[in-house]
Structure formats: C-alpha cells, structure tokens
Structure 1
C-alpha cells in the first residue's frame, strides 16, 4: 500500500458566519493537501506522477485564486468554512487512473486544518 501527498497553495478572501454572526472579510494563504493511494507501483516505480495530481488540484482551486470565496460558487450560497472547502475539492477532484482519493486537507491558518476523509 502506497500513499502520496501533494500540496498546493492559493490566496483568497472569505468571511464565514458563526452562530448567525458574519465575520469581516479577511485573507488567508490557503493550503490544500491531497492524499492519494494505491496498492502497486508502475514500471517506473511510481504510484502516479506528482505533477498529474498537482494539475488536478490546480484545476479545482484556480477559480479561487486571489478571489473572494463568498462570491464564487458554491460558496456564494454555502458558508466558506475550511470544512466546506475541503469537501468541495474532494467532490470535484479528478485523480489519475490507478489511484484513489484518500483525503483532502485544507489549512486556512497555521495550526487550523480541516480534513475530508473517504469513508
């Protein structure tokens, strides 16, 4: 069993609502870590190419770069919490053939990480 973790970052603003009270908009350097796994390596000794996973992550997060998450679907209608961002990425991410998506972690501030894990 093998796993790879690939991390990508982006800057974006958001303002979540907690207990009915909206926060002021503020910016984060968001970090997205994706874990893919599989049982075997290919003829080159790779589970998959890191760059393929990077491109897959970028395809999902590029619309968020330098934007306001509260104005970008689905977060124009969904509270843009780190948890919801992780779930959204997991739903759209297309991983390379031969591997499965294991988890998506989203860090919005040092020490503040939300992780979606495949059930």
Structure 2
C-alpha cells in the first residue's frame, strides 16, 4: 500500500480447560477450574505464508502439557505460583521457542481466565 508500512500477523485462538489454586503467603487458595482462552498473534518473517495447521500443531503441543490438569502439579507450576500472569509468561516463552522452526515470531499473547480477565504480553 502506497505510503503505509504494514505488518501482517496471524491471530489464532484456542481454549484450555485446567484447574489451579493460587498460593498466598498464608497458604493456598481453593482449587478451581477455568476455561483459559489463549490468543496468539504471530508474525511470519518475510511475510511468507505458513499453513494454519502447522502453527496450530505447535500450539497444541504446548497446551497438551496443561490441558485437563491441576496446574499446581505440572512443571514449572509445581514450584512457580500458577497465576494468570505466570501462566502467560510461561506460554509466551515456550511458544516463542516452538515457532522459531516455522520462521515465525509470537508478537502478542493474551490469556484469559474468564471473559473479562486477560493478561497480555506484547513484543516490542
């Protein structure tokens, strides 16, 4: 487009059912279930096309680690507090590594524990 520099991304949404109990100074909260919304924005280097199923398979690899499980018993959350913020940070790091083999970059990750509560990480 004339006069405009554009930046294209794919946006993929998936859902994970998993429970957690937040650890507090005075102990641990009650275990409860969430349907976590995971929204990834992915830029492919050189604006190449990548088949959706290739990226989706890489994302499924990450989600399968926690899907249907009690996060407090799954590494790294067996020793890291399984908060929304820590889950998002963990997913951002793992997905970033997995996408390298597809010549893609995770530019933004949003994870929500409810329709109104999301935590987002955006690459600068």
- Picking from 69, 72, 87, the partner of 1:70 is 72
* Residue pairs, 1:31-42, within 5 angstroms: 31-38=37-44, 40-42=46-48
Contact 1:82–1:107, Cα closer than 8 Å, also in 2: yes
> Structure 2: which 5+ runs fail to align?
1-6
- For residue 82 of structure 2, give the secondary structure of its aligned residue in structure 1: coil
- For residue 67 of structure 1, give the secondary structure of its aligned residue in structure 2: coil
Q: Normalized per residue, which structure has more helix?
A: 2
> Structure 1: which 5+ runs fail to align?
none
Moved over 4 A (4+): 18-21
* Superposition deviation, residue 116 in structure 1: 1.7
The equivalent residue for 1:60 is 62
* Superposition deviation, residue 14 in structure 1: 0.3
* Superposition deviation, residue 63 in structure 1: 1.7
Contact 1:33–1:104, Cα closer than 8 Å, also in 2: yes
The equivalent residue for 1:83 is 85
State the superposition RMSD in angstroms. Answer: 1.8
User: Which digits, 9 at most, give the CA deviation of each residue in 1:35-72, with x for residues without a partner?
Assistant: 11146443xxx3x2221221111111102111100010
1:110–1:39 distance in 2 versus 1, CA, 3 Å: same
* Superposition deviation, residue 106 in structure 1: 0.8
The equivalent residue for 1:102 is 107
- Picking from 1, 6, 9, the partner of 1:3 is 9
Number of residue pairs matched by the alignment? 115
- Of the two, which has the highest radius of gyration? 2
